[in-house]
Amino acid sequence: MIRVLFLCLGNICRSPMAEAVFRSMLEESGLDKHIEADSAGLGGWHVGEPPHQGTIDVLMKHSIRYDGIRSRQIGKSDLTDFDYIAAMDEDNVKGLSKLGTVGKTKVFRLLDLVEDSAVKDVPDPYYTGNFDEVYQLVAKGCATLLQKIVAEHQLANGQ
C-alpha cells in the first residue's frame, strides 16, 4: 500500500481538505485499493476535532465526503510510515524537519508539483477565509500528485 500524508499547521483546514479531495480522486480512479491518504498537523491545538466549517462547506459544495477525518498531530513514526508527505507550505516543511530524519519518505510542498502554479504555498484559509481558492489549489496539487504516484509506481486506474 502506498501511503500519502498531507501536512499543515493545525490539521483543520488545508490538510484535511487535501486528504478528502485526494481520497475522492482515489475512489473515482479505483486506486483506493493501492493508495491511502491521511492528514496531520504540526501543532496539537485541534487534536480530535473535525475539519473547520469552511473546509466542510467547500467539500460539500463539491460533493466530496470528509467522514472519518479528525485532526491529529504528526508523530515521529509518520516520517517513516508514509511514502509521501505533501506539506501545504514552506513553514510546514521546515517544521517537519525538526521532528527528525525522514528516511526514504518523499517530502515536498504540494504545489511544487504544479509547474504552472504562480504560488507554491497553499494559503491558510483559517486566516484568509478564502476556502474556495484553497480548494482550487489543493485540487490541482492532488491531481498532479496522483499522476506522479501512478507514474512512479506504474499503476493503472483500478489496478
Residue at 75 is within a domain: yes
Phi, psi of 142 (to 5 degrees): -65, -40
Catalytic residue among 38, 78, 83, 124: 124
Catalytic residue among 8, 23, 72, 78: 8
Residue at 142 is within a domain: yes
CATH (domain of 51): 3.40.50.2300
Whole-model pTM?
Answer: 0.96
- Active site includes 72? no
DSSP β-ladder status, 2-8 and 35-41 = parallel
- Active site includes 13? no
Residue at 72 is within a domain: yes
The pLDDT value recorded for residue 100 is: 77
The pLDDT value recorded for residue 102 is: 77
Residue at 34 is within a domain: yes
Which portions of the chain are predicted below pLDDT 50? none
Residue at 61 is within a domain: yes
Number of domains within the chain? 1
Catalytic residue among 13, 14, 38, 121: 14
Residue at 159 is within a domain: no
Residue 8 DSSP SS3 = strand
- Active site includes 124? yes
Domain containing 70 equals 2-152
Residue at 45 is within a domain: yes
The pLDDT value recorded for residue 4 is: 98
